[in-house]
Amino acid sequence: MTYTYHIPRLLIGAPQGRSGKTTVTIGLLAALTARGYRVQPYKKGPDFIDPSWLTKVAGRTCRNLDSYLMDQESIRQTFISHAQDADIAVIEGAMGLFDGVDLAGSGSSAEIAKIVQAPVLLVVNCTRMTRSVAAMVSGFAHFDAAVKIGGVILNQVARSRHEKMLRAAINEYCGVPVLGALPKGSRFTIPDRHLGLIPAGENEALLEAIGQLGEAAARYLDLDGIMQMARRWPGLTVRQAIPPAPAVQWLERGSATPRPPVVIGVIRDRSFSFYYPENLEALVAAGAGLLSVSAIDDPLLPDVDGLYIGGGFPEVLAAELAANRSFRQDLRQKIEQGLPVYAECGGLMYLGRRIHWEDKSFEMVGALPLEVEMVKKPQGHGYMHLEVLPGTPYFAAGQIIRGHEFHNSRVVNLDPECRFACRVLRGHGINGEYDGLCYKNVLALYNHLHAVAEPDWARNFVKLARSRRTGGN
């Protein structure tokens, strides 16, 4: 038996990075949402920051679709489970449309488009270009017969005469509709920093950019034409029914509701915001209740059985993190008492002794024998393969775990007697050879994992937290 899901959908791609995909995606989401459409956003690849903006704009949690970390079936299931009640699903691509990890384009945005059978809305940066735009669009339209270019967005258009020439060339030679043209102007961009865009939750004032992009999209994009393009594609057929994904229910402090058998704290504040929603859902599916924690505002760590510290920009808020001395000391004491803590990237930085950034040093938790120094160039950037070494309850020894890293920090003053958790097979990690430090029940890595790729992680984490709660550890 098969099931067919009719989901209007499109993927926003481009010939190359920095063409304006994120600008167009945010503007389109804002404009469609303002019209009353239910828009489900997705991001191709492992990125955390772009999804934070797409979530803010759409009012629905953005999901990552990554063919390096997820197989095709998992990608289709993730796509359908979250988009089946939406009016349209919009996937923001990454890099150039056909750019992947090998010559065949594995891991590319085009591969995602084929897996979910989505048409591509191609964003072209038209700076200093006229008739050549037709050659570019034609090449993308015919490069892979399985990838359908459903429409073109012209970006960085100089003036009305420039726009007319571009539209005429595409109409004459390509047979692909132009569905919008954005003029040049800094008001159509949003702020960024060393790892890309600034996270949406870090500074509420930055959200003003969303309104500007939405107004620009409503004015310069053919929203009706884009919706028609997304609706024309056939339904997605799968072998079994895919139910809508349940939403994560966060525990409320002081609630009269009985305490769950296992409570995992999740540090969610302006410093730590990089979490795949699937990771949080996997912890709940494994039997945990989730409690939101702030390393900036909470004076002490609440009563939890385990703690998850994701990535983020702790260096930006280092002064505030350092100022909350009572929380840091309480966390360190509980780590010494055996509290299970799983930390990724920014979480690793926070658990060390100090963060050095811009000629200043800030005291952190001090549970791990290391310090972290911020530098201008990325120290680790890309997908990772790690071989687990003996001694961590989160993974089996010898297991190969996948993930990705993206950090401008490096570990310094590392205790030579420290215990590493994983051998790096691909990537950089802590020193190019190893990633992850083990201390008591703490595991802290630069690697970000995705629960769809590593389903045992959540079960083992919750099992460890339950064991400590019941006195088994």
Q: Are residues 174 and 278 in the same domain?
A: no
Cα torsion at 202, 207, 208, 209 (round to 10°)?
Answer: 100
Q: Evaluate whether residue 244 is within a structural domain.
A: no
Taking a C-beta distance cutoff of 8 angstroms, is the pair 242, 84 a contact? yes
With vertex at residue 385, the alpha carbon angle to CA 384 and CA 388, rounded to the nearest 5 degrees, is: 125
The last residue of one of the domains, among 172, 203, 238, is 238
The yes-or-no answer on residue 345 being catalytic is yes
Q: Are residues 319 and 229 in the same domain?
A: no
Taking a C-beta distance cutoff of 8 angstroms, is the pair 72, 452 a contact? no
Taking a C-beta distance cutoff of 8 angstroms, is the pair 10, 91 a contact? yes
Q: Are residues 232 and 279 in the same domain?
A: no
Q: Evaluate whether residue 317 is within a structural domain.
A: yes
Q: Are residues 197 and 268 in the same domain?
A: no
- Determine the pLDDT at residue 367: 98
306: Cβ–Cβ under 8 A, 6 or more apart, which residues?
A: 262, 263, 264, 265, 288, 339, 340, 341, 342, 461, 462, 464, 465, 468
- Domain ranges, residue 448: 263-469
The last residue of one of the domains, among 223, 238, 253, is 238
Which of the residues 126, 345, 422, 438 is marked catalytic?
345
9: Cβ–Cβ under 8 A, 6 or more apart, which residues?
A: 83, 88, 89, 90, 91, 116, 118, 119, 230, 233
Cα torsion at 453, 459, 465, 466 (round to 10°)?
Answer: 170
Global pTM value: 0.93
Q: Are residues 305 and 396 in the same domain?
A: yes
Tokens of 6: 């009719």
- Distance (Å) of CA 359 to CA 71, 271, 321, 378, 471: 44, 20, 17, 18, 45
Q: What's the rounded Cα separation, in Å, for the pair 352 and 20? A: 37
Q: Evaluate whether residue 250 is within a structural domain.
A: no
Q: Evaluate whether residue 254 is within a structural domain.
A: no
Q: What's the rounded Cα separation, in Å, for the pair 9 and 79? A: 10
- Determine the pLDDT at residue 194: 39
Q: Evaluate whether residue 246 is within a structural domain.
A: no
Q: What is the CATH number of the domain that holds 162?
A: 3.40.50.300
Residue holding tokens 């402090």?
A: 253
If residue 52 lies in a helix (H) or strand (E), which one and from where to where?
Answer: helix 49-58
Taking a C-beta distance cutoff of 8 angstroms, is the pair 451, 278 a contact? yes
Which of 147, 136, 191 shows the shortest CA–CA distance to 169? 136
DSSP code string of 415-429: -TT-EEEEEEEES-T
For the purposes of burial, counting CB atoms within 10 Å of the CB of 377, is it exposed (0-12), middle (13-18) or buried (19 or more)? exposed
Q: Evaluate whether residue 248 is within a structural domain.
A: no
Q: Are residues 125 and 191 in the same domain?
A: yes
Give 10-residue mean pLDDT values along the chain (473 residues).
94 95 94 98 94 93 96 95 97 97 93 98 97 98 97 96 98 97 75 50 62 92 98 91 87 88 96 96 96 98 98 96 98 98 98 96 98 95 96 96 96 96 98 97 98 95 93 63
Q: What is the CATH number of the domain that holds 331?
A: 3.40.50.880
Q: Are residues 198 and 326 in the same domain?
A: no
If residue 183 lies in a helix (H) or strand (E), which one and from where to where?
Answer: strand 178-183
Q: Are residues 334 and 418 in the same domain?
A: yes
Q: Evaluate whether residue 139 is within a structural domain.
A: yes
Tokens of 135: 């050659």
Q: Are residues 273 and 397 in the same domain?
A: yes
Tally of residues, the chain: 473
Q: Evaluate whether residue 247 is within a structural domain.
A: no
Q: Are residues 268 and 234 in the same domain?
A: no
SS3 category, 403: strand
**Please, what is the end-to-end C-alpha distance for the chain in angstroms?**
47
Q: Are residues 287 and 229 in the same domain?
A: no
The last residue of one of the domains, among 238, 273, 308, is 238
DSSP code string of 331-374: HHHHHHTT--EEEETHHHHHHSSEEEETTEEEE----SS-EEEE
What is the domain count for the chain?
Answer: 2
Q: Are residues 153 and 302 in the same domain?
A: no
